[in-house]
Chains A and B, each alone.
Chain A
Amino acid sequence: MLNQFFKVITSSIMKKFGMGVTGLLLCGFLVSHLLGNLLIFVGPQAFNTYAHTLVSNPLIYLAEAILLLIFLKHIGLAIKLTIENKMARPVKYYMTQATGRGSTFASSSMPVTGLIILVFVVLHILQFKFGAYYEETYDGVVMRDLYRLLIEFYQNPLNVAWYIFSMACVAVHVSHGFWSAFQSIGFNHPKYTPLLKCLAKLFALVVFCGFSSLPIYCYVQGAQ
């Protein structure tokens, strides 16, 4: 029984399933993160209060731990799958040529965009979560002035450029990953799969434009 269970969870299909599920959960994180960050447009007080409310809730540690686990699972599986896939063809072809009817730029660059996103996420956490600590008081409550850090950080156009480039990678990654996840968990429908593919592109566009607007706004705000 245990043996059978082990066989199932280590099977190729369960690995794909895990990749799909964690990927979709990370898409969910992208949405919530974007919605929260859009408060930057409302103003420093709204944004800082939002960030303060988030981090002062004790459940944040649990949420962060779960998010970290999802990330690690996604990355771990990606590494495992990529190595296995390389091993499945030990002798390479002399010549390869895509048919033009199957793979896309997004689908064939998943490991590359994934790796860039990983570097971005690590830097992003170091730059902001563990970045310079300013304080601000609103209505008698002392809280971290993350807004100020953002404005300062994005005065450097290189930081803006790296951010936008990373978001382009995220967009390319989810434009394949989003619909692909449904395929991996066993959902393919003549009517809904084409819709999911469109939705994936739309989601990619929203993620790219939504996130990229933030550092640009900070850059412009700071220049004033």
Chain B
Amino acid sequence: MSADEKLLTLNLKIWRQKDAKDKGQMVDYTLEGVSTDSSFLEMLDQLNEKLVGQGEEPVTFDHDCREGICGMCSLMINGQAHGPEKETTTCQLHMRSFNDGDTIVIEPWRARAFPVLKDLTVDRSAFDEIIMAGGYVNVNTGNAQDANEILIPKESADLAMDAAACIGCAACVASCKNASAMLFVGAKISQLALLPQGQVEAEQRAANMVAKMDELGFGNCTNEAECEASCPKGINISNIARMNKEFLKSAVKSKS
């Protein structure tokens, strides 16, 4: 408990939906005694304890590490993906970002490709499908080779690392007015395109991943950069430009 801990009373407006087929609706809750030291998910835990105590169904939401590294948590908080703080996942968002008496609107990610399963949980397996379409490299099995054998320019390594910081939470899709997945796909293509290890499949990778992304019904980027602004890992939209370039390259070079 910190010295300046305060207790908040909050008005919550939460999307409740029984299952994938249910129409769903916003439901109002009042929650008292929320510590400013607790995280946003702990606040929801507190609400759930209360609901269970009252014999009601708790609110379902996704989470896992609660350390900002796994990409499992989501939530549209007051119309912003992962809430108001820059480069912060919902699990790392703290209640000190809110004031006593605030009304907080909590919704699931919305996109055709991410159907709501229950309450605030959506099915993000569309992202797995995109990765399966080309987000990998083939490696030889056997002894691990010397780490310094493959030379990689520092700048490429840094850019690849920045792209690889993507945790696949899908805040980019959720915050995009077009529900476009281009920041995610751009990051995944970039992290491999920038490294020598990614060159073997390069010719087909961008084409296949983009084709999968289109097929799944994500929207088209209009370069507004809300994705970059909402990304908890600060992934830059230059990765989208790189994807565009890689796609054009693979379209020109492709033999089929």
**Contact surface of A with B, Cβ cutoff 8 Å:** 1, 4, 7-8, 11-17, 81, 84-85, 87-104, 107-108, 110, 176, 180, 182-190, 193
Contacts of B76 in A (CB 8 A): 93, 95
- Interchain nearest-CB distance for A18 vs B (Å): 11
**Contact surface of B with A, Cβ cutoff 8 Å:** 13, 15, 26, 76, 78-80, 86, 105, 107, 110-113, 116, 175, 177-180, 182, 207, 210-211, 213-214, 217-230, 237-238, 240-248, 251, 254, 256
Contacts of B244 in A (CB 8 A): 13, 16-17, 183-186
- Interchain nearest-CB distance for B81 vs A (Å): 9
In the bound complex, how far is the Cα of B80 from the Cα of A103, in angstroms?
13
Q: Are B78 and A95 in contact (CB under 8 A)?
A: yes
Q: Are A186 and B13 in contact (CB under 8 A)?
A: no
When A110-B222, A188-B241 are in contact, do A1 and B256 touch as well, CB less than 8 Å? Answer: yes
Shortest Cβ distance from A81 into B: residue: B220
Q: Are B110 and A91 in contact (CB under 8 A)?
A: yes
When A89-B179, A95-B79, A183-B237 are in contact, do A103 and B256 touch as well, CB less than 8 Å? Answer: no
- Total number of A-B contacts with CB less than 8 angstroms? 148
Contacts of A14 in B (CB 8 A): 251
Q: Are B242 and A103 in contact (CB under 8 A)?
A: no
In the assembled complex, 5 residue pairs joining A and B whose CB atoms fall closer than 8 Å, in A order, are A8-B207, A12-B210, A13-B243, A99-B230, A183-B237
In the bound complex, how far is the Cα of B79 from the Cα of A94, in angstroms?
8
- Interchain nearest-CB distance for A2 vs B (Å): 10
5 tightest A-B contacts by CB? A186-B245, A88-B219, A188-B241, A97-B79, A102-B229
